[in-house]
């Protein structure tokens, strides 16, 4: 066997791997040191190899030989360091993340935190005031015939919706003719996850720990909100999408926020699938976010409706409510909320005052799903004091 390494040309010691490239002359378990996972061989020229052999000669050497010998010695020390480092590691490949070389071009400053995803609406928007007629509300037969001729809603659901609307009138859940028309237009069966139960007067599950409010509750809250076509309306808690569908029958500018992203995208798909037959859904602007902070980029809002329970009125929502604007919101502990209608007044001196009214006049409390935060908890007011 040669005394020189066949890989790099440096001296070999019997029974030991090359100190520079790791080559091992026999088929021993340490053969992996000469594999692709070992450090790459250091390229050495023929001129550099020559002094390695002459290093065993007597000390009478010329300056050039001494200089070359020193260079070879330095490389040998480097080889010992590399091999010593390899002996302390497994021969298995190790993933190494190599940072890219710095760019000579100055890097831009870090961008702001990513904004919440906005589920863009389709174009063009639809002006509900261009409708030439509304469904008749005088009798059931005329209503069903009108809706059957102009929508894709099934007769069995239209009949159920008609009967439900009559009970809303009797119980005064609806007092405005426009709100009644919106309820009669909107297909609740498309938004309930179980269409068979769409017109039950009940709170129904829609998945993700969320619910769709009962139709009487939707009607009364919308009736007290009373949005107009040219007003901007904000809904906190998109949920099933039914409340915003009703609002889109009343306003050209509906904004809705849902914190549960899978639910928001599921409801967004329902709107998109139906907007060819219901172009008013193109007016519903959707966002995935924490509704506690409203939608400041689009504020102020003439109307705000909150469909989740909270123990105080979120101050940001009050700030985003326009002067003389109306907010309808369930306020109270988790055991039951009072649904308040709040009117915001701003005096000539800028002082804000609020008029509050219980829409059930103290006769009823309702349990809504909690107003949750991005961290998964519920929003509570600091020091347990309600914002005035």
Catalytic residues: 213
| Cβ neighbours, 10 Å, residue 84 | 10
Give the total residue count for the chain: 388
Q: Which two tokens stand for residue 228?
A: 């107009």
**How many whole angstroms separate alpha carbon 377 and alpha carbon 388?**
23
Helix, strand, coil percentages for the chain (3-state, nearest 5)? 35, 15, 45
Pairing of strands 284-288, 253-258: parallel
CA distances from 332 to 87, 294, 337, 356, 362 (A): 68, 19, 4, 14, 13
| Cβ neighbours, 10 Å, residue 198 | 21
Burial class (CB in 10 A: 0-12, 13-18, 19+), 31: middle
**How many whole angstroms separate alpha carbon 294 and alpha carbon 314?**
9
Burial class (CB in 10 A: 0-12, 13-18, 19+), 353: exposed
**How many whole angstroms separate alpha carbon 141 and alpha carbon 294?**
43
What is the DSSP code (8-state) at residue 314?
A: -
Provide φ and ψ at 266, rounded to 5°: -65, -45
Torsion on CA atoms 215, 217, 218, 223, rounded to nearest 10: 120
**How many whole angstroms separate alpha carbon 19 and alpha carbon 247?**
80
CA angle in degrees (0–180, nearest 5) for 47-53-54: 90
**Contact in structure between 44 and 10 (CB atoms under 8 Å):** yes
Helix or strand or coil: residue 358? strand
């Amino acid at each position: 066997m040669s005394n020189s390494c066949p890989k790099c040309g440096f001296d070999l010691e019997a029974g030991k791997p090359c100190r520079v490239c790791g080559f091992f002359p026999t088929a021993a378990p340490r053969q992996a040191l000469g594999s692709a996972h070992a450090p790459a061989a250091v390229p050495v020229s023929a001129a550099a190899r020559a002094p390695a052999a002459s290093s065993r000669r007597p000390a009478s050497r010329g300056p050039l030989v001494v200089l070359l010998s020193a260079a070879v010695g330095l490389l040998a020390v480097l080889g010992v360091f590399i091999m010593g480092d390899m002996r302390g590691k497994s021969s298995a490949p190790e993933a190494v993340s190599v940072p890219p070389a710095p760019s000579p071009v100055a890097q831009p400053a870090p961008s702001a935190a990513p904004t919440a995803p906005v589920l863009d609406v389709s174009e063009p928007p639809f002006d509900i005031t261009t409708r030439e007629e509304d469904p008749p509300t005088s009798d059931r037969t005329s209503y069903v015939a009108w809706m059957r001729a102009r929508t894709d809603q099934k007769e069995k659901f239209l009949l159920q919706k008609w009967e439900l609307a009559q009970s809303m009138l009797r119980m005064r859940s609806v007092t405005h003719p426009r709100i009644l028309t919106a309820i009669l237009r909107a297909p609740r069966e498309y938004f309930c996850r179980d269409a068979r139960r769409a017109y039950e007067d009940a709170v129904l599950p829609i998945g993700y720990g969320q619910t769709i409010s009962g139709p009487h509750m939707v009607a009364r809250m919308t009736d007290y909100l009373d949005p107009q076509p040219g007003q901007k309306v904000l809904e906190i808690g998109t949920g099933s999408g039914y409340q915003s569908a009703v609002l889109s029958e009343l306003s050209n500018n509906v904004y809705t926020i849902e914190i549960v992203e899978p639910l928001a995208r599921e409801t967004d798909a329902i709107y998109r699938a139906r907007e060819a037959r219901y172009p008013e859904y193109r007016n519903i602007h959707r966002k995935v976010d924490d509704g506690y902070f409203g939608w400041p980029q689009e504020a102020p809002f003439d109307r705000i409706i909150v469909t989740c329970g909270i123990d105080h009125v979120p101050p940001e929502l009050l700030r985003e409510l326009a002067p003389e604007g109306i907010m309808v919101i369930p306020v109270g502990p988790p055991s039951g909320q009072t649904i308040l209608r709040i009117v915001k007044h701003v005096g000539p001196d800028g002082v804000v005052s609020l008029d509050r009214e219980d829409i059930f006049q103290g006769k009823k409390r309702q349990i809504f799903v909690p107003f949750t935060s991005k961290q998964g908890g519920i929003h509570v007011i600091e020091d347990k004091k309600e914002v005035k």
